[in-house]
C-alpha cells in the first residue's frame, strides 16, 4: 500500500505542463533532424540536365555522408560537392552545390579524345552517358586529394573539363538512392562496367 502511494506521489511530482512537454519534443526533433542532415544524410534535388540519362530534372535523392569518412571516393561514384575556388571566383554569387560523376582519382592521367575517356592510357567503358563526348581534353594528371568529375550528359555539362578539379574537402557526400518520382525510386544505376569486377574493365582503344 505504501509503495503504491509513493509511486503516485512521484507521478504527480514529475508531471509537466503538456505545452512544455510538447516544446521539448519539438526541440529534440529539430536537433536530431539537423544532426542527421549535417553528419549522416540529406535530401537533394536535380535542377539541370547535366546528369541525363541517369538523373532527370526534379529527381529527389538521398546523399549519404558517412562512407567518405572511412573510404575515398571511387571512380563511378555520383557525388555532391561545393564549387571549387575557380568556380567561386568566376561566379561570386554561386551558392548551390553541384552533382557529377567521379572519373579521375588523385594521380590518374585523364584524356578525352575520339569520343572516349582514357584513364592512364586505357579507354574506360561507360554505360551511363547520354552520348559520346564531342570534345577533346587533356591529357592532364589529377592533383593529390582532388578529383575530376564529369556529367553523364557529357556534351551539356559544366564540369571539370571547364573549371578543373574538386578538392576532397569540398565533397559533401555520395548520392545513393532516388526517392522521387515514385516510378523511378531505388538505387541509382546502371552500375559502371569498371565497377562490376575487381579489376577495371577497359574498352578497346578508339582508333
The set of catalytic residues is 50, 100
103 contacts 122 by C-beta, under 8 angstroms: no
Q: Within a 10 A sphere around the Cβ of 189, how many other Cβ atoms?
A: 10
How many whole angstroms separate alpha carbon 102 and alpha carbon 119?
A: 12
How many whole angstroms separate alpha carbon 195 and alpha carbon 184?
A: 22
How many whole angstroms separate alpha carbon 33 and alpha carbon 27?
A: 10
Beta strands across the sheet bearing 122-124: 137-141, 109-113, 116-119, 122-124, 202-203
How many whole angstroms separate alpha carbon 179 and alpha carbon 112?
A: 33
159 contacts 150 by C-beta, under 8 angstroms: yes
How many whole angstroms separate alpha carbon 136 and alpha carbon 144?
A: 23
How many whole angstroms separate alpha carbon 152 and alpha carbon 166?
A: 17
Alpha helix locations (H) across the chain? 2-14, 18-39, 85-90, 160-163
Amino acid at each position: 500500500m505504501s509503495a503504491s502511494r509513493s509511486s503516485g506521489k512521484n507521478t504527480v511530482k514529475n508531471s509537466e505542463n503538456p505545452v512544455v512537454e510538447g516544446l521539448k519534443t519539438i526541440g529534440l526533433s529539430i536537433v536530431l533532424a539537423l544532426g542527421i542532415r549535417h553528419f549522416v544524410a540529406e535530401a537533394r534535388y536535380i535542377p539541370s540536365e547535366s546528369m541525363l540519362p541517369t538523373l532527370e530534372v526534379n529527381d529527389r535523392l538521398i546523399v549519404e555522408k558517412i562512407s567518405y569518412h572511412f573510404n575515398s571516393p571511387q571512380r563511378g561514384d555520383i557525388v555532391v560537392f561545393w564549387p571549387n575556388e575557380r568556380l567561386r571566383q568566376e561566379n561570386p554569387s554561386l551558392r548551390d552545390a553541384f552533382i557529377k560523376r567521379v572519373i579521375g582519382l588523385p594521380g590518374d592521367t585523364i584524356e578525352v579524345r575520339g569520343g572516349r575517356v582514357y584513364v592512364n592510357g586505357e579507354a574506360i567503358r561507360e554505360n551511363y552517358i547520354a552520348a559520346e563526348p564531342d570534345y577533346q581534353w587533356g591529357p592532364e594528371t589529377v592533383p593529390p586529394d582532388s578529383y575530376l568529375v564529369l556529367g553523364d550528359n557529357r556534351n551539356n555539362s559544366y564540369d571539370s573539363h571547364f573549371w578543373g578539379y574538386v578538392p576532397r574537402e569540398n565533397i559533401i557526400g555520395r548520392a545513393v538512392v532516388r526517392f522521387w518520382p515514385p516510378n523511378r525510386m531505388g538505387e541509382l544505376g546502371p552500375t559502371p562496367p569498371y565497377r562490376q569486377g575487381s579489376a577495371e574493365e577497359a574498352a578497346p582503344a578508339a582508333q
